[in-house]
Chain A
Amino acid sequence: MEQQFARQLKKGALEMLVLALLDRRASHGYELLLRLKESSGGQLVLKEGTLYPILYRLEDDGCIVSAWQSPTGEPQTPKTARKVYQITGQGRAVLAEQVEVWRQFSGSVEQVLEGNA
């Protein structure tokens, strides 16, 4: 029960967090995993199997785009290159919306939990 609740919560928020990280700078998958872990103080430790489906959903919705790049920057073949994900204009708009909803929602959740109605 507890686990399910945590999973459901995470699922909705992760999409927004991935967008937020990509908004700061483009990253490849592994880098995103590291950045998520780092910026959450070690709380959000994801596996590839969780992250990539999120990235695919965002890419299919047009919020991010991916491109193959070698470590030096020029486009290359999948053999030696990394797939770098980048946020789009649409992604930024979606992110702004989600952050807005999140702030409102978490604010009211806090209010209910703290209140004595």
Chain B
Amino acid sequence: MKQYTVKQYMNAIESALRVDWKTRVRIMNDLASDFQSRRDAGQTDAQIMAELGTPKAVAAEFNAAFAEEHGPYQSPLRWVWLALAVLLPLVANWTGLQPAEASSIGIIGGADGPTAIFVTGRFGWSGVLPWAVGFLALFLLAGWCRKARGRLWLPLLLCAAVSIGSAVSQLNAAHAMAMTGALPVWMYFIANVLSNGTVFCLGVLFYTVFCLRRP
């Protein structure tokens, strides 16, 4: 087993626990008490940690016991993901540039049709679609997907479709921008996929694949 200090060991257990906050405090208190009792019984810290098992194993026992009783753990953080998934497109739509403004920017920048269209698309709700879908997938992964393994396919397909579709359309947009702009295509492309969330969505896709492969 990896060498831990007691504090590191406890922290590692705590971060691997998948239980609500109150139960988490309860468990950590009891484990601290357990540690004291074992010290009283004459065990060294290294012996105690070896006997309790790896932090992951200790947390896994608790997780299994609570999942059996209360159903799979659903992270409260998932509501943050859902809020972001809903609010981002709304905010982008409210504050998004209207076509008139977009074309005036286009004129200032010396751009013609395609860029104006791109700028509009980028700031409307559809311009943040990959961000929104990524957050929606995180929301599903943090709760709903944990109830059955097959449910992982929904965020997987969502993220795959959106990131591939978005990457293709941003590549077209980058070509259009490079025709009138000063920078090479790939720079526009990278700027586009970073700002509209394609890279983020792709990241969530990889995370979903990781979840699917995890035993």
Contacts and interface: CB of A to CB of B under 8 A. Distances in A.
Contacts of A81: 33, 36
A31 interface: yes
Given A48-B58, A57-B69, A81-B36, A30 B41 contact: yes
Interface string A56-100: 110000000000100100000011111100000000000000000
A29 B61 contact: no
A31 B37 contact: yes
A52 B27 contact: yes
20 contacts: A28-B33, A28-B34, A29-B33, A29-B37, A31-B37, A47-B52, A47-B53, A48-B58, A48-B62, A49-B58, A49-B59, A49-B62, A49-B65, A50-B65, A53-B66, A56-B26, A71-B40, A78-B29, A81-B33, A82-B37
Contacts of B69: 53, 57
B47 to A, nearest CB: 13
Interface in B1-56: 23, 26-27, 29-34, 36-38, 40-41, 52-53
B64 interface: yes
Interface in A25-62: 28-31, 47-50, 52-53, 55-57
Interface of B: 23, 26-27, 29-34, 36-38, 40-41, 52-53, 58-62, 64-66, 69
Contacts of A48: 30-31, 34, 52, 58, 61-62
Q: How big is the A interface, by class?
A: 20 to 34
Given A47-B53, A81-B33, A53 B38 contact: no
Given A81-B33, A81-B36, A82-B37, 9 more contacts: A29-B37, A30-B41, A53-B69, A68-B33, A78-B32, A79-B32, A82-B33, A82-B40, A83-B29
* Main DSSP-derived SS at the B contact region: helix
Nearest to A27: B37
Given A30-B41, A56-B23, A57-B69, A49 B33 contact: no
Most chain B CB within a 10 A radius of its CB, from A71, A78, A79:
A78
Contacts of B60: 49
Nearest to B61: A49
B33 to A, nearest CB: 4
A46 to B, nearest CB: 10
Given A52-B27, A83-B30, A47 B37 contact: no
Most chain B CB within a 10 A radius of its CB, from A28, A49, A83:
A49
Contacts of B33: 28-30, 68, 78, 81-83
Contacts of A68: 33
Contacts of B52: 47-48
- Complex A-B, nearest 6 residue pairs according to Cβ-Cβ distance, in ascending order: A49-B61, A30-B37, A53-B65, A83-B33, A49-B62, A82-B33
A48 B17 CA distance: 13
A115 B189 CA distance: 79
Contacts of B37: 28-31, 82
Contacts of A79: 32
A71 B41 CA distance: 12
